[in-house]
Structure 1
């Protein structure tokens, strides 16, 4: 009997579900990484206070927005009166990568009822999106893992914001502690692990889209507004993947 090791990339043969057990597993698996959302939350809470955002509004921004990049970008436009149009455009640009992420998630998320789908996607962020990809290709069909991981990240981001708003000046500059390297290591480990798995079945050409995306991200970083280099990298990596498959 020959075992089929081809990874599943479509949920058509399984039932997509959202369960409390999945939410628990997702939150548990993401908790260690989510702890490092606290320093970023502290940094935002401190920066928001220094920018003149009232404490309660700064906390509510983290509760309802949950987008670190967009929130930091919004502070640059926090004036009196607030330039709402420009503020909305900056937040949209900073979060544009979600369009690409949503397209990747579509085969799984569209199988859920609309209410559960929107509930899950409301807590989507970069770490839980990245974690979901190898899990779902390995056969995970409980969208609760994506939601649970997002809730873990969100709750500790809010905790960090509260700490930053109330005592950020006492703590000082959290970037001096080097917490940001944890997220870099997390994403690097996921990308290398997934590329290694693909290389076993498709050869080392699997690394080509990753190399192309990384190159585009670095080259366009000083050329494009903040966040747009990630969009350019994602599109370039996607084109490289299609070209590799057609070659």
Structure 2
């Protein structure tokens, strides 16, 4: 039988492992041209790693900030579906749902949906979400300070770090063949558009195609 203590311990383990990765985002963001303050505000207000790395990737490649923001919003839209799926598990009132919405991310959702009781679902959600939020923002700040001191990332061969970090976040999501196919199709579309579009647009269009395909696949009912 799963105990409250084991749920908290597991949640903190996920929180520590994920939160410390914020140092990578902080360093990459600072070396891509954003200030320490801008970098920290991204983690504080956006608080979803894939969207943050996508935004920084567009900026680093010379793309328009609005294109980067649209890409980030597109990727972050999945959290809305997470919220819908875990709302019955948490059983929160309207005010509590509003206050907790910022903590709806991949990890907190995963630690909540598998619980058998509402109490343990809430423990998994809040301990995971809050620990990641605190550590992600702390390590973003530390990473941004380090990245700011490094200077031009191309001097150290770090200009490919955005793509590598984004791939690191994406890889665990490719556990199913549907996920791999969606990623492959979206990537193919984005790569095919690189010679014909401005910086940032291939990511937006490829991401939109991937989201559309994912939604169509998800809406199909087994016969």
Instruction: Tell me by how many angstroms 1:77 deviates.
Output: 5.2
Aligned residue in 1 for 2:106: 126
Greater fraction helix: 2
Partner of 1:116: 96
In the aligned structure 1, how far is the partner of 2:123 from the partner of 2:99? 10
Aligned-partner Cα distance in 2 for 1:78–1:183: 19
Give 1:139's aligned residue: 117
Q: Which moved more, 1:126-135 or 1:224-233?
A: 224-233
Which one has the largest radius of gyration? 1
The 5 Å alignment of 1:27-176 reads 28-38=9-19, 40-76=21-57, 78=59, 85-108=66-89, 111-135=91-115, 138-141=116-119, 142-168=121-147
CA deviation after TM superposition for structure 1 residue 117, in Å: 0.7
Q: Structure 1 residues 229, 107: CA separation in 2 closer, same or farther (over 3 Å shift)?
A: farther
Structure 1 residues without counterparts, runs of 5 or longer: 1-21, 192-209
SS in 1 for 2:33: coil
Q: State the distance in 1 between where 2:140 and 2:8 align.
A: 19
**What per-residue deviation string (whole Å, max 9, x for no partner) do you get for residues 190-217 of structure 1?**
x7xxxxxxxxxxxxxxxxxx54344333
Aligned length: 193
Q: Which stretch of structure 1 is more off in the superposition, 37-46 or 66-75? A: 37-46
Please tell me whether residue 216 in structure 1 is matched to residue 182 in structure 2: yes
CA RMSD of aligned residues (A): 3.8
Alignment check: 8 A CA contact 2:59 2:65 kept: no
Q: Deviations over 1:101-129 (max 9, x none)?
A: 233234345x4211211222211111221
Find the aligned partners of 1:234 and 1:87 in 2 and give their Cα distance. Answer: 21
1:123-153 deviations in whole A, cap 9, x for unaligned? 1111221222222xx3344434312211111
